[in-house]
Structure 1
Amino acid sequence: MRFMGAERVEEAAASCAALLRTVVGKDWENTRAGDLEWSCRFTATHVASDFIGYAGNLAGRARSAYVPFDITVDGDENGNYRADNAGLIDVVTTTGALFAATLRTTRREVRAFHPYPFRSANRDGFAAMGIAEALLHTHDIARGFDVPYEAPAELAEYVLTTIFPTVRPGPAPWPTLLWATGRGDLPGRERVTRWHWTNNHVVRAGRLTLEGVTPAAAADLYEGGDGGFHWVEDGPFEGTRIAAGMLLKAYEIGVHQPEFGVYVLVRDEDGLAVGGMGFHGPPGDGRAEIGYDLAESARGRGYATEALNALADWALAREDVTTLLATVDRDNAASQAVLARTGFVRTGEEKSEDGELFAYERRG
């Protein structure tokens, strides 16, 4: 799964600029952008500011807050603009190019500060946020001038499958994105009045980082790809692909909760993915089932123990989880040892199509 975020940011900037050129001779300063309280000029400047701000956070590896800078469109001390509308279009395309260049030179595992909702985002998340800002605010400006605008479907789909994992896919990506952000209606769905996007969740675990899998990555893993991760030579193991398919199905029917999805275990020392771990779904009555696998070359090194302990600790610290469940083949002594080392207690036996399983649980 090749990283396409940079190219898609450039496409989004070009889509924005193309619409702006159709209204370049109009009054941007005194025209309100759709339902926003902003003028069309301020809205276009905001898109450029987001592009350069996201680039700054990634380049600076911001940890706890936005890097404290912004751009100022060329103007004098009295607030008179020397940059006309055409000049502002150049600012949008230039900042988009700078953002794309930053994305191209940022390693896959790098994360930087963003507040929604887990306090960080990776390059895919930042790319999707930048694209969303460009497409949605172009829509707002187009509404302000009462001109048509249709965003490219592949860009809207990239945004939805990267930072809107709880939004059930609709009949087409662009109207679904407009609905998800309170800008439109979809048949059979209530109008959205409050919303935010959701970057993927991560859990630190000793020598590993557990990186939440987005619907976009899950689709690629399920179809035999790498999900955008760099894997050890014999990964991913088949269980990870099956789990990705379960995540994808939950997303498609609108019941996916990203924290209770699938995580890829990434080794900090070299950035290689060594396995998968996650939940069979969100908790019900305080109980959630957990499962995991490792590539064969990564076994016997304590990775599963570190990852399971960290993910179990995270889950049981929540108010909606009281008990974690797991099942393992009765012949899989190694996996049974992992469960024992991480505080799971054997509670009985179950039968499945593949044979007999031992059942385990760990209580909060």
Structure 2
Amino acid sequence: MFTDRLELRSWTVPEAAAVVNGVRLADWADDFPAEGDQVIAELLDENPLWLGEYGHRHVVERASGLVVGSIGLFWPPDDGTVEIGYGIVASRRGLGFASEAALALTEFGLTSPDVHTVWANVELSNPASIRVLEKAGFHRMSTDIAEKTALYQRG
């Protein structure tokens, strides 16, 4: 899947193994993988659908060809809803890559007949992530003051 500036390329088993085993690949940005990428790579064995058509993807900066983050839908959907998660490495934050990727993957996810809503939970202390979701067309549905989080949805 391509956007103006990004390629959203599905994770492969060898790439996940490289992340888990601390092996660096030539097409990774210097600060990839981030902590969240490590977590996803470790969970791919337990969640094989995350490697499928609607699953997790590397965010590749087309200009450089480097992997600069990851984004994914936590497949399969539950009652027509699916969660999205994303992360961009520190060296590429503030460039709009997360919003561009979130918009593209959300719109793709909503093409599935099994999905009517894509959602994300975000910490209120993370205004950058809130902006990502808002730019991707998500709307705040609720706020949990005790947990210091907000639920955003699109669909």
Matched, 1:329 2:123: yes
Q: Which of 292, 298, 302 pairs up with 2:96? A: 302
TM-score by length of 2: 0.90
The offset of 1:207, in angstroms, is: 0.3
Query: Which residue in 2 is equivalent to 1:230?
Result: 27
Q: Secondary structure at the match of 1:205?
A: coil
Matched, 1:357 2:149: yes
Identity of aligned residues (%): 35
Task: Assess, with a 3 A threshold, how the Cα gap between structure 1 residues 223 and 351 changes in structure 2: closer, same or farther.
Answer: farther
Matched, 1:248 2:45: yes
Task: Assess, with a 3 A threshold, how the Cα gap between structure 1 residues 256 and 299 changes in structure 2: closer, same or farther.
Answer: closer
Amino acid corresponding to residue 362 of structure 1 in structure 2: R
Deviation per residue, 1:94-120 (Å, 9 max, x gap): xxxxxxxxxxxxxxxxxxxxxxxxxxx
Task: Assess, with a 3 A threshold, how the Cα gap between structure 1 residues 341 and 249 changes in structure 2: closer, same or farther.
Answer: same
Give RMSD over aligned pairs. Answer: 1.9
The offset of 1:324, in angstroms, is: 0.2
The offset of 1:317, in angstroms, is: 1.7
Query: Which residue in 2 is equivalent to 1:62?
Result: none
Aligned pairs for 1:173-252 (under 5 A) are: 203-226=1-24, 228=25, 230-251=27-48
User: Contact conserved, 1:205 with 1:310, CA < 8 A, in 2?
Assistant: yes
Deviation per residue, 1:70-103 (Å, 9 max, x gap): xxxxxxxxxxxxxxxxxxxxxxxxxxxxxxxxxx
The offset of 1:313, in angstroms, is: 0.9
Structure 1: gaps (5+ residues): 1-202
Aligned-partner Cα distance in 2 for 1:321–1:215? 26
Query: Which residue in 2 is equivalent to 1:5?
Result: none
Moved over 6 A (4+): none
Aligned-partner Cα distance in 2 for 1:286–1:248? 24
Which structure is higher in RCO with an 8 Å CA cutoff and minimum separation 6? 2
User: Contact conserved, 2:12 with 2:51, CA < 8 A, in 1?
Assistant: no
User: Contact conserved, 1:276 with 1:293, CA < 8 A, in 2?
Assistant: yes
Deviation per residue, 1:298-335 (Å, 9 max, x gap): 00001111111111111112211110010111110011
Amino acid corresponding to residue 357 of structure 1 in structure 2: T
Aligned-partner Cα distance in 1 for 2:38–2:53? 18
* Structure whose CA Rg is larger: 1
User: Contact conserved, 1:316 with 1:323, CA < 8 A, in 2?
Assistant: yes
Aligned-partner Cα distance in 1 for 2:58–2:26? 8
Deviation per residue, 1:210-257 (Å, 9 max, x gap): 01002232222123334x461222222111111122222223xxx555
Structure 2: gaps (5+ residues): none
Question: Which is richer in helix?
Answer: 1
Aligned-partner Cα distance in 2 for 1:336–1:256? 24
User: Contact conserved, 1:212 with 1:261, CA < 8 A, in 2?
Assistant: yes
Q: Which of 71, 76, 79 pairs up with 1:282? A: 76
Task: Assess, with a 3 A threshold, how the Cα gap between structure 1 residues 229 and 312 changes in structure 2: closer, same or farther.
Answer: farther
Amino acid corresponding to residue 34 of structure 2 in structure 1: F
Aligned pairs for 1:117-128 (under 5 A) are: none
